[in-house]
Amino acid sequence: MKITTVETRLLRVPLQQRTITDSQSTVTDVEFLQVVLRTDEGITGYGMNWSYTPGLRAAQVAVDENYAPVLQDKDPAFRKAIVRECFFTNHFIGRVGATRVGLAAVEFALWDIACKQAGEPLWRYLGACRDRVKAYSTDGGWLTWSEQELVRDACALVERGFDAVKIKLGRPDPREDLRRVAAVRDAVGDEIDIMTDVNCAWTLATAMQYGRALADWDVKWLEEPMKPEDVAMHRELAHAITTPIAVGETLFTREAFRDYIAAGAVHYVQVDATKVLGIDEWLEIAALAACHNLPVVPHTNVQHKLHVQLAAATPNCVLVENCYESLNDMWEEPIEVQGGYYQLPELPGVGLRIRDDVVDRHRIG
């Protein structure tokens, strides 16, 4: 089999749902880069990547100008060799960031071809360890909501069958954060897991002072308390407070995960296949986490179908986020949470094909 054409499509899709706010962002649109690899045997591979902010055009240029010439006429079975060759076409200007995000989209398309050739969805192709995947809700808990809105939403999610919900922290006064956590705990009771997410807003001093108090409300984890580049700071925090630390959604390499794990600075490994170099590197990092007896809880917003399939095939991947539900029907085969669990998809492939009519309606490049 040979790759005959490489096509990229850039979309900007407006969100239909209510406000999405955290300590760093207010999200109104999501950009998508779709990569389409056609082959001489009629199998087409689809990959994609995403961003809340404009900028995926940089990833599109990398695919069009750097990776497409490498992919042309290659046998997609040589995925790992192809990805390595692509990586070195622009490593002077982008070993991480937009170029890597573009290359991950290519990598997903290569996996999609392999799965379709085998006639299996990704989770069956990898070998499954579970037939459904537990979900926790991050489609709420937004930072600008009032305490009442926060509580009402958390209770509604519990009504729907979720037994784990996440709320955003990082208000200007951290004491407000603690009051909001307390209000949600009081409302949902002791049987529901509450996760918290600071989106990197705190200093070490703030994290030490207020992170310690989260244990009073039995918080399951404290996510991205500080800037992700500083492993030593996270190690200090992890050793100072009892609430577990979760990081990974803004780490781009397996070496970054290795450093966090070696330092004892992470307890929940939130590796996202769209940020690292695709599925192969995700599996390596999940295996590294398993060697240290650490659970993997992949960061997910629009790419839950990919991570649900990886979770179904990864014993230490115990939970997947559910977010951006208003975008579910943009996918060729949407999956949903029922009674707190994701059902697994059955169409062959990786599952990142965006519906053609959605592409036509929202294409910007």
CA atoms in the 13 A half-sphere facing the CB of 36: 14
Greatest alpha-carbon pair distance for the chain in Å reads: 61
- Give residues 16-75 in contact with Mg ion (rule: CB under 5 A): none
The piece of 97-105, 173-181, 216-224, 236-244 that touches Mg ion (CB under 5 A) is 216-224
- Give residues 221-260 in contact with Mg ion (rule: CB under 5 A): 223
Q: Could you tell me the smallest distance in angstroms from the CB atom of residue 167 to Mg ion?
A: 11
Residue placing its CB nearer to Mg ion in the complex, 44 or 199: 199
The count of other CB atoms within 10 Å of the CB of residue 46 is: 21
The piece of 77-85, 141-149, 187-195, 220-228 that touches Mg ion (CB under 5 A) is 220-228
Residue placing its CB nearer to Mg ion in the complex, 223 or 281: 223
Q: Could you tell me the smallest distance in angstroms from the CB atom of residue 108 to Mg ion?
A: 21
Q: Could you tell me the smallest distance in angstroms from the CB atom of residue 224 to Mg ion?
A: 5
Q: Which of 164, 103, 173, 189 is nearest to 323 (CA)?
A: 164
Would strands 132-137 and 44-51 be described as parallel, antiparallel, or unpaired?
Answer: unpaired
Q: Are 277 and 257 in contact (CB under 8 A)?
A: no
Residue placing its CB nearer to Mg ion in the complex, 20 or 241: 20
Q: Is 272 in the site for Mg ion (CB under 5 A)?
A: no
Residue placing its CB nearer to Mg ion in the complex, 158 or 195: 195
The piece of 28-36, 79-87, 111-119, 189-197 that touches Mg ion (CB under 5 A) is 189-197
Q: How far apart are CA 29 and CA 150, in angstroms?
A: 22
Total residues contacting Mg ion by CB under 5 A comes to 2
Q: Is 139 in the site for Mg ion (CB under 5 A)?
A: no
Q: Could you tell me the smallest distance in angstroms from the CB atom of residue 166 to Mg ion?
A: 8
Q: Which of 62, 66, 60, 13 is nearest to 34 (CA)?
A: 60
Residue 182 burial (10 A CB sphere; 0-12, 13-18, 19+)? middle
The piece of 44-52, 60-68, 194-202, 356-364 that touches Mg ion (CB under 5 A) is 194-202
Residue placing its CB nearer to Mg ion in the complex, 107 or 223: 223
Q: Could you tell me the smallest distance in angstroms from the CB atom of residue 82 to Mg ion?
A: 31
Q: How far apart are CA 317 and CA 342, in angstroms?
A: 13
User: φ and ψ at 221, to 5 degrees?
Assistant: -155, 160
Query: Which residue number is nearest to Mg ion in terms of Cβ?
Result: 197
Q: Is 197 in the site for Mg ion (CB under 5 A)?
A: yes
* Angle, helices 174-188/204-211, rounded to nearest 10 degrees: 30
Residue placing its CB nearer to Mg ion in the complex, 112 or 249: 249
Residue placing its CB nearer to Mg ion in the complex, 31 or 223: 223
Four-point Cα dihedral 71, 77, 79, 82, nearest 10:
-40
Q: Could you tell me the smallest distance in angstroms from the CB atom of residue 118 to Mg ion?
A: 33
Residue placing its CB nearer to Mg ion in the complex, 117 or 138: 138
Both structure tokens of 131: 């037939």
The piece of 105-113, 170-178, 179-187, 195-203 that touches Mg ion (CB under 5 A) is 195-203
Q: Could you tell me the smallest distance in angstroms from the CB atom of residue 299 to Mg ion?
A: 6
Both structure tokens of 38: 């056609």
The piece of 84-92, 191-199, 206-214, 314-322 that touches Mg ion (CB under 5 A) is 191-199
Name the DSSP class of 269. E
Give, for 363, the enclosing helix (H) or strand (E). none
Name the DSSP class of 353. P
Q: By the criterion CB under 5 A, which residues form the site for Mg ion?
A: 197, 223
